[in-house]
Copies of this chain bind each other. A is one copy, B any other.
Amino acid sequence: MKEQKCPADASYAECLYYAANAFARQMTKMADDAFLPTGLSASYAVLMMTVNHQPGICPRDISQRMQLTPSTITRLIEKMEYRGYLERRSTGKFTEVYPTDAGEALVPVIQSAWKNLQAHYEGLLGQEEAHALVQRLTGAVAQLDAP
């Protein structure tokens, strides 16, 4: 009888990569759930908020804000354009992204879903802890970004 149950078990129980991804998956599921009433999954909701907050923003800036690659942003925008929520206006190599009326109409719905999401995880984790986590995570992101 050597290793039968070992609950938290092996090496990777302490691995940051590992913990980060497990947590992110959970949060994404929770977020997609919360955003269900908007008809969008979480990333799209974030995109819509970003564009609504700063109409005319260019893809590269969206990419930086959302910390997703430009190609991903293109894909996200495409879909929202197709769905009639966003519109691209290109002049030369530059592109500006605007919400359509339908896109603007979505804002309050998204915002309320967002509040619910926050309430949900704060309810489960405690407000303190949730906030501390966000702090640490954004801090870490910044630190890993620099070099």
Contact = CB atoms under 8 A, between A and B. Distances in A.
Interface of A: 3, 8-28, 30-31, 42, 46, 49-50, 53-54, 65, 67-68, 111, 114, 117-118, 121, 124-125, 129-130, 132-134, 136-141, 143-145, 147
A9 B53 contact: yes
B20 A137 contact: yes
A31 B11 CA distance: 14
B26 A24 contact: no
Contact of A24 (B20, B49, B130): B20
Contacts of A134: 14-16, 19
A12 B49 contact: yes
